[in-house]
Structures are given as C-alpha cells and as structure tokens.
C-alpha cells in the first residue's frame, strides 16, 4: 500500500490560481504523454507517487489523452487512485479537459457544444471513478459553437457538482475576454486559461494574454514549458535516436537545426552559472511571469519529475541574467 512522504508539503511552492481561493503547486504533472495504453503502468504509478511525494498535488489530464486509445490516460490514473492514492483525494487537484476529437460522429468531434462537453465529462468521471473533478476545461476554442453555449455547459458542470472550477485552454486574449464576460454574468468560478508558453514560444506575450490574465485575476496553467523537450539537455549535442525528435514524435522537430542547438547551449551555460539544469532554468523563467500560476511538466521517468520540481529552489533572476537570456533568445 502506498504511503506518501509525510514531509511532502515542506518544499513545494503554492500559488493562487488567479484571484481564486484555489492554490496550485508551482509545478504540476501533466499526463499527456506516457500515461496511455502503450505505457508501462508501473512507471506511471511511480511517476504519480514521486510527484505527490514532492508536494505536486495537481494532476492534469484530458479526455483524449492516451494515444492510441482516447481515454486510456484517465483510466490508468483511475487505476493509480484505486491502488492507494484515492485515500488522499481531498489532497489532490484533478483537472480534465474536452474539446478535441474523442469519439465517432457529430457529437464527439472537435467542438464546444453542450452535448459534447456534458457527455465527455460524464465519461471522464466514470473512467477515473470520481464524483467530481476540481477543474474542467474546454480544451480548444470552437468558432462554430456560440461562446454562450460553451460557457453554459461549463457552468452547468459546476451547478451539477461535477466540477468545482472551470477553465479554458488554447484561447487567445480576445477569446478569453469574450467568454469571461459570460462567466461573470453567470457567476461561474472561471479561474484558469491553459496556454502553451516557454522561452521558445512566447505568443502569450505578443497576444497580450498574460497581461490580460494578470489584470483580470485569471491564472495561467502553462503547458509545454520545455518546448517539446528542446529546453532540456537532450539536444545539446545533436539529436539522439531515442528522443522525441529522433522518433519523429513532435511536429516541431524541423526547428532543431544547428542555430537552435547553438542557442540551447548558450542558455545551458547561463543555467549552469545559476546552479541549474537547462530545464530547471526554463521552468523558473516561465514562473517568473507573474500571470503564471503553475507550469505543467510531462515526464517519462520519475527522476525527471524530481529534477524539474527542483526549479522552485531558484525562482529569482537578476536583471543581468534576464538580459543575458533575452540576448540569446533574440539571436
């Protein structure tokens, strides 16, 4: 039987999700990769236990995680809960999402309809054997569904007791502002937007989403903070055959040219001077944005979780360090 580390809350940093009362660990664990049908269950369980032992209380999933079988990541997480973690349900913040293709037909394709979101959440709860999730997100903006309908579906999930809070993902600043007005009218506990953001992907700054979020009390739960693994030590000397780029398992692999590798090595040098690995500095840099409540990391091994969670030991940056990083990123 799993018994968590009794000192698990001593080292983690917890931030408010926007202006809500909910606190999230600065580092959260995303179950997008390596928790699906083809993954090793023993390794999945070790990763979840390692995360919780480090004070990572937030586990982020989606209905379509678990390639090649949608939903298998939620099923595996449910199995992990059954094998000892369910006793700690009140110490966990569990989020799931719906919006991308999930099942055949017009009610399960990529959309934001009330029909799809309601059915999907019910399916997710059954797979994880939960009465409710803490956060339910609409996974991607749908231009073909009225925002009022999507907002009402999320609000209804809260009113039915199936979700405590709601969020959106992959919405830009304009779209976020539009749906937030509806949420305010409904008094829906809308607390998070989940965008991609990293040193190498700064679209939220150009778009103004981070400024809007900070000004309006909505937190950002950032995914891909390591830019599909670029911002780790994996590619400092080229492309390993067993890496995501080497396997062709990422759509940005063609960006990893000699210029990018040189840039990564310069960033790694700055990280070393700070006493951090490249991935740790990349995560600390994302958390340095005041709009960010938490960074969602992925992992293939428990050791990666421990290494990356240690980013919280150096969240401060000097002006000189930030200038040096900006200089490298602008090359």
Q: pLDDT band for position 255 (50/70/90)?
A: confident
In which residue are the tokens 């998070």 written? 192
Residue 240, pLDDT > 90, answer no
Domain boundaries, the chain: 21-329
Mean pLDDT, rounded, for 297-314? 97
Taking each helix axis as running N to C, give the angle between helix 278-287 and helix 302-309, from 0 to 180 degrees, rounded to the nearest 10: 50
Q: Are 106 and 69 in contact (CB under 8 A)?
A: no
Which residues, other chains included, contact 174 with Cβ-Cβ below 8 Å and sequence gap of 6+? none
Instruction: State residue 34's pLDDT score.
Output: 94
Q: pLDDT band for position 154 (50/70/90)?
A: very high
Is residue 196 classed as helix, strand or coil in its secondary structure?
strand
Is residue 301 classed as helix, strand or coil in its secondary structure?
coil
d(Cα 149, Cα 115) in Å, to the nearest integer?
10
Residue 314, pLDDT > 90, answer yes
Residue 249, pLDDT > 60, answer no
Question: What is the length of the chain?
Answer: 331
Is residue 270 classed as helix, strand or coil in its secondary structure?
helix
Q: Are 142 and 171 in contact (CB under 8 A)?
A: no
pLDDT 10s digits, 82-119: 999 999 999 999 999 999 999 999 999 999 999 999 99
d(Cα 147, Cα 178) in Å, to the nearest integer?
8
Instruction: State residue 252's pLDDT score.
Output: 64
Residue spans of alpha helices (H) in the chain? 41-53, 72-82, 114-128, 147-159, 173-186, 203-207, 209-216, 258-274, 278-287, 302-309, 319-329
Residue 299, pLDDT > 90, answer yes
Q: pLDDT band for position 247 (50/70/90)?
A: low
For 201-217, letters b (16+ CB in 10 Å) and e give beebeeeebbebbbebe
d(Cα 184, Cα 186) in Å, to the nearest integer?
5
Q: What does pLDDT average to over the chain?
A: 95
* % the chain with pLDDT above 90: 89
Using alpha carbons, list the distances in angstroms from residue 63 to 32, 58, 92, 98.
Answer: 10, 17, 18, 6
d(Cα 298, Cα 86) in Å, to the nearest integer?
22
Using alpha carbons, list the distances in angstroms from residue 41 to 3, 53, 61, 76, 167.
Answer: 18, 18, 16, 7, 29
Instruction: State residue 325's pLDDT score.
Output: 98
Residue 246, pLDDT > 60, answer no
- Helix (H) / strand (E) element for 142: namely none
Residue 135, pLDDT > 90, answer yes
Q: Quickly list DSSP for 90-101.
A: GG-EEEEEE-S-
d(Cα 65, Cα 296) in Å, to the nearest integer?
15
d(Cα 112, Cα 99) in Å, to the nearest integer?
6
Number of H helices, E strands in the chain: 11, 10
Residue 242, pLDDT > 60, answer no
* The architecture CATH gives domain 21-329: Alpha-Beta Barrel (3.20)
pLDDT 10s digits, 163-201: 999 999 999 999 999 999 999 999 999 999 999 999 999
Instruction: Please give the biggest Cα pair distance in the chain.
Output: 55
Is residue 299 classed as helix, strand or coil in its secondary structure?
coil
Instruction: State residue 64's pLDDT score.
Output: 96
Nearest to 225, CA basis, from 287, 275, 268: 287
* % the chain with pLDDT above 70: 95
pLDDT 10s digits, 46-92: 999 999 999 999 999 999 999 788 999 999 999 999 999 999 999 99
**Phi, then psi, of 208 in degrees rounded to 5:** 90, 10
């Amino acid at each position: 039987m799993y018994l968590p580390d009794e000192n698990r809350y001593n080292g983690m940093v917890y931030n408010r999700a926007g202006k809500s009362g909910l606190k999230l660990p600065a580092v959260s664990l995303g179950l997008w990769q390596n928790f699906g049908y083809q993954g090793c269950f023993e390794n999945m369980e070790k990763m979840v236990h390692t995360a919780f032992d480090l004070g990572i209380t937030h586990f982020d999933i989606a209905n379509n995680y678990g390639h090649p079988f949608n939903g298998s990541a939620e099923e595996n997480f449910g199995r992990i809960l059954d094998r000892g973690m369910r006793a700690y349900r009140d110490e966990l913040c569990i989020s799931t999402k719906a919006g991308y293709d999930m099942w055949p037909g017009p009610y399960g394709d990529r959309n934001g309809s009330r029909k799809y979101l309601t059915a999907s959440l019910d399916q997710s709860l059954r797979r994880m054997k939960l009465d409710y999730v803490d956060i339910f997100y609409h996974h991607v903006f749908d231009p073909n569904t009225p925002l009022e309908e999507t907002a009402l579906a999320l609000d209804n999930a809260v009113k039915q007791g199936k979700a405590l809070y709601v969020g959106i993902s992959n919405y830009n600043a304009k779209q976020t502002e539009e749906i937030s007005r509806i949420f305010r009218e409904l008094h829906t506990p809308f607390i998070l937007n989940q965008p991609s953001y990293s040193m190498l992907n700064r679209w939220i700054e150009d778009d103004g989403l981070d400024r809007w979020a900070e000004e309006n009390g909505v937190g950002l739960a950032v995914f891909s903070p390591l830019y599909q693994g670029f911002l780790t030590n994996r590619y400092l000397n080229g492309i390993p055959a067993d890496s995501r780029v080497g396997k062709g398992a990422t759509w940005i692999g063609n960006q990893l040219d000699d210029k990018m590798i040189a840039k990564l090595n310069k960033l790694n040098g700055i990280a070393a001077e700070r006493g951090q690995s490249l991935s740790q500095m990349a995560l600390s840099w994302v958390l340095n944005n005041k709009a960010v409540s938490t960074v969602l990391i992925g992992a293939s091994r428990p050791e990666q979780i421990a290494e990356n969670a240690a980013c919280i030991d150096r969240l401060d940056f000097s002006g000189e360090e930030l200038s040096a990083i900006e200089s490298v990123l602008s090359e």
